[in-house]
Structure 1
């Protein structure tokens, strides 16, 4: 087995989207090959309703899939296909925009005004860019959770892990999406298929990830002597950790434990033409999409 090297560790940066929603963006609208097949990852977390209540009014998508994972508060959604509903704490929605959809997402806080959730964009290969749109809404109670003897907890949202299979399926990127908690002081290793691109996003506590590319620092150092990770740099709240190629990642939890999303997927390795909420393969396809938006033919009739 080989530990994946850490290619980069960086903090999510403040951004404003929709009708003025204040959020933090871990990646997006930069180099689409960096975490192929994933394009964008937003952490929308706030305790001030004025900073999120105006939400994300009607907007289009084509050529991508989005996964929305809610931790606190709710998200009310509706779309041009006639779907509508509410995502609550722990719920997940995977939307395949395919050939095109118009939808809106309106966050609402919990009893104390807190709102917290994540949205991830996954690219679609050229063969599925114009597929029929669809939704998968998954209730929190249907997401399996695995608890190890050392107290490590993993919610399996997509993919297979520790004998459990997440309820979301049929996703083009063949992803694995895990919500992981490692208790204070525990060192834990997680297997990831070598062919997948992978990243972790820390959102509670702190942890040090082993780095196979460094002889010192965040590293399994002198493990034969039973020593813990040599912690040079602890990754804390709103930190993205981007991994290179390997079979596994190892994390040493800090004094309060660490909770993070561990996400991986198979690269699509195709050209990307991207503007706003629409992602195609060529500039001509992108121009055509926006032409259809203008002339009212963006939404394809159901077959």
Structure 2
């Protein structure tokens, strides 16, 4: 019998506010982020009340990591000091590499209706933290996707999807952290077993419905819960009632993590340098 990945923890996010008062659910972030290496933060925003999101995220800096924003509903306008301008719409992804520095804004381009999505922070290895910044918009129609024989749809944002029958390369690849980022939509009564590299940190965030994790006894994970799994073994996923799941996996960097707000480096001295650079207008 094949070894299964074990459930290490199941947790809920915490209500938070960021930017100019945007209400969100902070799923990963704060103390203990080393447990999720190479991932630093995961925020979920979901509201049809414009008061919760209309003020957006005015210009602010980043250094030392990448941000991946995945929009399920609504529109968000990106502008940065490098001259990049983009409109993130439903189903699309924005992949931004802050590296040595980027100052950007993310402002909702709507005054009513549902705004829903996620932002994930992915650490950069020490040798890339002061590299060149970059930005890419990936519209929904350009994101690779496959549908399994069981009817499970996989939107392959990053990495490589493989369930033993279907294979699909994602829109983005990274050599050091090797992120695997899939949006899995499981119909009621379906199952899927994505193959993931041994040694990868694996997280599941159930954003809709219920997910079953088979094992000695089935574990049912309700919407709004994050599951952290062991780094080895197979990962059979099933849903009796249907589910939407973000699968997030990556190779740990095993480097020191020192964070101060929007800066993530390897030492306190590097953080102090980032603060000086931002103050002096030479962040990038």
Give the structure-1-normalised TM-score. Answer: 0.88
Do the aligned partners of 2:152 and 2:191 also contact (CA within 8 Å) in 1? no
TM-aligned CA deviation for residue 170 of structure 1: 3.8
Counterpart in the other structure of 1:189: 193
* 1:58 alignment partner in structure 2: 59
Q: Which residue number in structure 2 is paired with residue 287 of structure 1?
A: 272
Q: Deviations over 1:242-301 (max 9, x none)?
A: 01122321222032x0110101011111111110000011101101110111122212xx
Determine the C-alpha separation between the residues in 2 that align with 1:207 and 1:104: 35
Point out where structure 2 has 5 or more consecutive residues left out of the alignment. none
- 1:252 is matched with which residue: 229, 238, 242? 238
CA-CA distance at 1:190 after TM superposition? 2.0
Query: What do residues 46-101 of structure 1 show as CA deviations (whole Å, max 9, x unaligned)?
Result: 11011001001110000000100001001101001010110101111110001001
Q: TM-score, with normalisation over the residues of structure 2? A: 0.94
- Structure 1, unmatched stretches of 5+, are 211-218, 222-229
Partner of 2:115: 115
Deviates more, 1:236-245 or 1:164-173: 164-173
Query: Structure 2: how far apart are the matches of 1:298 and 1:124?
Result: 17
Give secondary structure in 1 for the equivalent of 2:51: helix
Query: For the pair shown, which has the larger CA radius of gyration, 1 or 2?
Result: 1
Match of 1:243?
229
Give the count of matched residue pairs. 279
1:79 to 2:83 alignment: no
Structure 2 partner of 1:167: 171
Instruction: State the 1:187 CA deviation.
Output: 3.2
Q: Indicate the structure whose relative CO is greater, using CA pairs within 8 Å and at least 6 residues apart.
A: 1
Aligned partner of 2:145 in structure 1 is 145
- Report the CA distance between 1:172 and its aligned residue: 4.2
Deviates more, 1:259-268 or 1:246-255: 246-255
CA RMSD of aligned residues (A): 1.4
